[in-house]
Structure 1
Amino acid sequence: MELLLPEIGLLFWTLLAFLIVFFILKKYAWPAIVKGLNDRENSITEALATAEKVKLEMAQMKNDNEALLAKTREERGVILKEAKEIKDKIVNDAKEEAKAAAAKIMADAQSTIQQQKMAALTDLKNQIGNLVIETSEKVLRKELSNKAEQEDYIKVLASEVKLN
């Protein structure tokens, strides 16, 4: 029962001990505890401010990256378009050169054919002329009295002639 109804002396000494501990804690411990809590609160506030700043910077970097990516895609499209135009130009130039070369070859071939044709005709005319001269010469050398014999002889000579 003493604990439920303590004596005045016990109460006095307990109160005195409590007040001494209270004043010592108030003078030495609480300022350190309060300073630590304030420091902790300041560091948390600074960390939150830094986090918010980093978040804003990340958002800005994301926007910059998206703009850079869009610009890069646009440049890629331009480069691809230019490459296609260059390819088409090269192909068209090659086709035009091939057509021009083919036309030149055809013209040269036709010119050569025409020259050979003219040479063959000239040669044929010369051979026919020579044959006519030879035939005429043979006819004149032979003196025939009969016109029928002369025509028979001409037919024999004409059948002997071989065209080269």
Structure 2
Amino acid sequence: MGLVTPELGTFIWMLLAFGIVLLILAKYAWKPILNALKEREQSIEDALSSAEHAKEEMATLQAGNEKILQEARKEREAMLKEAKEMGENVVREAKQKATIEADKIIESARLNIESEKSAALNEIKAQVALLSIEIAEKILRQQFTDDQQQKDYFKKLMDEVKLN
């Protein structure tokens, strides 16, 4: 039973060995272990603060991204509005040009119709005059069978024409 209940001499040697081991550990091992633990604790604190800082930066970036997205949406809306206005302007200008061109074509057609009408009227007048002369000639030939009567009547007409 000597191992379970040590004697006083063994107890002193055990206590002395324990004290030496404790001094050696205190002098050489605990400081590096405690320093390592402090470094580890500090690195964990740094990592946590870095994570917190990264979280804050992410929130800032996210807010910045949201602001950029809103600006992009506004710009897109402005561009769409501008494109729509430009399209409406192009359509309006095309309608105005088409109206002006149609008016020009109508005016040109009206002038052509009037000139052709005038030409047709002149031609009809000329034909009527010719027909009238032919009819008058036939009537006069029948009335004046004598050449002398025709010459006298012709002279009379020539005198009237010169007076007018």
Confirm whether residue 115 of structure 1 aligns to residue 99 of structure 2: no
* SS in structure 2 at match of 1:142: helix
Corresponding position: 1:131 with 2:156: no
Aligned mates of 1:5, 1:99 — CA distance in 2: 123
Q: Which runs of 5+ in 1 are unaligned?
A: 146-164
TM value normalised by structure 1: 0.84
CA distance in 1, matches of 2:7, 2:134: 178
Q: Please give the per-residue CA displacement for 1:132-152, whole angstroms capped at 9, x wherever unaligned.
A: 10121122223578xxxxxxx
- Where does residue 44 of structure 2 map in the other structure? 44
- Corresponding residue for 1:93? 93
Q: Provide the aligned length of Structure 1 versus Structure 2.
A: 145
Secondary structure of the residue aligned to 1:4 is coil
Q: Distance in 1 between matches of 2:2 and 2:124?
A: 161
Report 1:28-43 matches (<5 A). 28-43=28-43
RMSD: 1.4
Give, in whole Å, the separation in 1 of the partners of 2:35 and 2:43: 12
What's 1:157 paired with?
none
Larger relative contact order, structure 1 or 2 (CA cutoff 8 Å, min sep 6): 1
Listed as ranges, the gaps of 5+ residues in structure 2 are 146-164
Q: Cα distance, 1:94 vs. partner?
A: 0.3
Once the two structures are superposed, residues 111-139 of structure 1 have per-residue CA deviations (whole angstroms, 9 ceiling, x without a partner) of: 10111011101101110110110121122
Q: Give the counterpart letter for 2:129 in structure 1.
A: G
Structure 1 position 54, deviation (Å): 1.0
CA shift digits 1:33-64 (9 cap, x unpaired): 00000000111111111111111111011101
Query: Hey, what does 2:141 align to over in structure 1?
Result: 141
Counterpart AA for 2:125: K
Q: 2:77, 2:90 → 1: CA distance?
A: 20
Aligned match of 1:2: 2
AA in 2 matched with 1:30? W
Aligned sequence identity (%): 46
